Amino acid sequence: MTNDVKTDSSVADMMDAIGRSARLAAVSNARSTTADRNRALGLMAAAIRGDADNILAANTIDVDDGKRRELSAPMLDRLMLDTGRIEAMAAGIEAIANLPEPVGRVMAEWERPNGMVIQRVSVPLGVIGIIYESRPNVTADAAALCLKSGNAAILRGGSESFRSSGAIYECIRVGLSAAGMDENAVQMIPTSDRAAVGYMLSSMAEWIDVVVPRGGKGLIKRVQEDARVPVIGHLDGICHVYLHAAADPDMAREIAVNAKMRRTGICGAAETLLVDQAIANTILPDVAQALLAAGCEIRGDEAVQALLAAAQPADDSDWSTEYLDAIISVRIVADIDAAIRHIGDYGSGHTECIVTGDDAAAAQFLGDVDSAIVLHNVSTQFADGGEFGMGAEIGIATGRVHARGPVGAEQLTSYKYVVRGSGQVRD
């Protein structure tokens, strides 16, 4: 059995204790007040700011270790913290505190002919397991989003960022404790033993309501194979920018360069540029020049190679590759239908952009491209819960069940039906 992980009983005991206390904390958090939870979030942000030096020191050790272990440049970029990123983390928690209360919202209300009044009311999901890799700020974002939405969180960070995440986690517990909340509302698995992840996925359905994995293909594949609890799925971000025949040349260049090069290590970075053949001669050379000037490698199909001396050859695997690096694959397509077909065949359902001045073409693209986020004249780098105004995100879901796109506090809720009557019985 894939899930028959050899787990020594001490790991099982430890994980069961974490699960049991998380369940109790979830019940108590679900009954806490908005004011309590927001005060805890404010105190967490303050603790992170106050403890920035410790967090940076821990991060330096992680980064040095990562360099010794020859982590890739994008991975080191995700791992690395500086004062700006720490301030962003604290500000993100405060932004989450300032979001509307996600729990107890009356999402719908109607009355039946027999006089029953039915409400659909948002409630917390319960206990959320988050399994992530190198990005230490996930520790803060995930904890804050889970707390805001009345849930308990069990965090399992990657070994690469173990010390950084641990330092951030200490600040979270300080905030919970100072606010008088149950500290077990956020717990971090205190070992990098892989058996703990196996046990979490296969044997904790009683304690964990949903697992959110954040990381590379290996992690996602393992979670999908082993999980006996619901998963909010995150796959690759093979994001496309399509320059339509009616694209404005300057906008095309600026969006293409920003979507690819602003930050290459994030899942919303563009990986493939599709160029309508009607504008390949006029617009592509300028766009390519700007990409090259920004330090980007171009891999093109034969038509692209014929136009651009600097283009390396792309083979079929390039269309399915998430480089997460300063590389872009470029393909010339016959028309918008071919662009939509290419995205359907090779995309990962994450984020795709059309650049065009033609509203009918935009409407077709936005309607027919079946991805979590579809954009018209906007850089794919905006595929982010913070940029969407959600305060922060626990990740971008590419699955279709429960949540799709940025997963923020609102997406970490379930709901129940509340029905009020006056003695109705059914015929």
Binding status of residue 419 toward its own copies by CB under 8 A: yes
Question: Are 296 and 328 spatial neighbours (Cβ–Cβ below 8 Å)?
Answer: yes
418 binds its own copies (CB under 8 A): yes
Judged by CB under 8 A, does residue 206 bind its own copies? no
What is d(CA 23, CA 152) in angstroms, rounded to the nearest whole number?
Answer: 7
405 part of the interface to its own copies, by CB under 8 A: yes
The helix (H) or strand (E) run that includes residue 110 is: strand 106-111
> Stretches 33-41, 179-187, 313-321, 384-392: which one binds its own copies (CB under 8 A)?
384-392
Q: Does 30 bind its own copies (CB under 8 A)?
A: yes
Binding range to its own copies, per CB under 8 A, among 89-97, 158-166, 249-257, 296-304: 249-257
Question: Site residues for its own copies, window 122-181 (CB under 8 A)?
Answer: 123, 125-126
The correct pick among 258, 264, 321, 329 for binding its own copies (CB under 8 A) is 258
Q: Which stretch binds its own copies (CB under 8 A): 75-83, 280-288, 303-311, 386-394?
A: 386-394
* Minimum separation from the CB atom of position 176 to its own copies (A): 22
For the CB of residue 417, give the shortest distance to its own copies in the complex, in Å: 5
Residue type, 159: S
Q: How far apart are CA 230 and CA 209, in angstroms?
A: 7
Interface stretch with its own copies, choices 74-82, 136-144, 256-264, 310-318 (CB under 8 A): 256-264
Give φ, ψ of 23 to 5 degrees.
-60, -45
Instruction: Give 294's contacts (C-beta < 8 A, 6+ positions apart).
Output: 257, 260, 261, 326
Site for its own copies in 78-107 (CB under 8 A): none
- Taking the C-alpha atoms of residue 238 and residue 272, their distance in angstroms, rounded to an integer, is 7
In the list 25, 154, 389, 393, the residue contacting its own copies (rule: CB under 8 A) is: 389
Least distance from its own copies to the Cβ atom of residue 301, Å: 25
209 binds its own copies (CB under 8 A): yes
In 179-230, DSSP assigns E strands to 186-188, 210-214
Q: φ, ψ for residue 29 (rounded to 5)?
A: -65, -40
Q: Does 254 sit near its own copies (CB under 8 A)?
A: yes
Cβ(280)–Cβ(270) below 8 Å? no
Q: What angle do CA 409, 412, 415 make, to 5 degrees?
A: 115
23 touching its own copies, by CB under 8 A: no
Q: Which of 232, 235, 394, 409 binds its own copies (CB under 8 A)?
A: 232
CA torsion 340-341-343-347 (nearest 10°) is 150
Q: Is 270 helix (H, G, I), strand (E, B) or coil?
A: strand
Q: How far apart are CA 174 and CA 172, in angstroms?
A: 5
Q: Tell me: does residue 401 bind its own copies (CB under 8 A).
A: yes
CA 377, 382, 385, 388 dihedral sign is negative
Q: Total residues at the site for its own copies (CB under 8 A)?
A: 69
Q: Are 311 and 330 in contact (CB under 8 A)?
A: yes
Which of 20, 262, 341, 342: binder of its own copies (CB under 8 A)? 262
Least distance CB 257 / its own copies (angstroms): 8
Say whether residue 382 binds its own copies (CB under 8 A).
yes
CB of residue 33 to its own copies, shortest distance in Å = 13
CB 145 within 8 A of CB 119: no
Q: Which stretch binds its own copies (CB under 8 A): 6-14, 141-149, 154-162, 377-385?
A: 377-385
Q: Does 394 bind its own copies (CB under 8 A)?
A: no
116 near its own copies, judged by CB under 8 A: yes
* Segment (H or E) for 117: strand 117-124
How far is 98 from 161, CA to CA, in rounded Å?
A: 28
Binding residues (CB under 8 A) for its own copies: these are 1-3, 27, 30-31, 110, 112, 116, 118, 120, 123, 125-126, 205, 209-210, 224-225, 228, 230-233, 248, 251, 254-255, 258-259, 262, 362, 366, 368, 370-379, 381-382, 387-389, 399-402, 404-406, 414-426
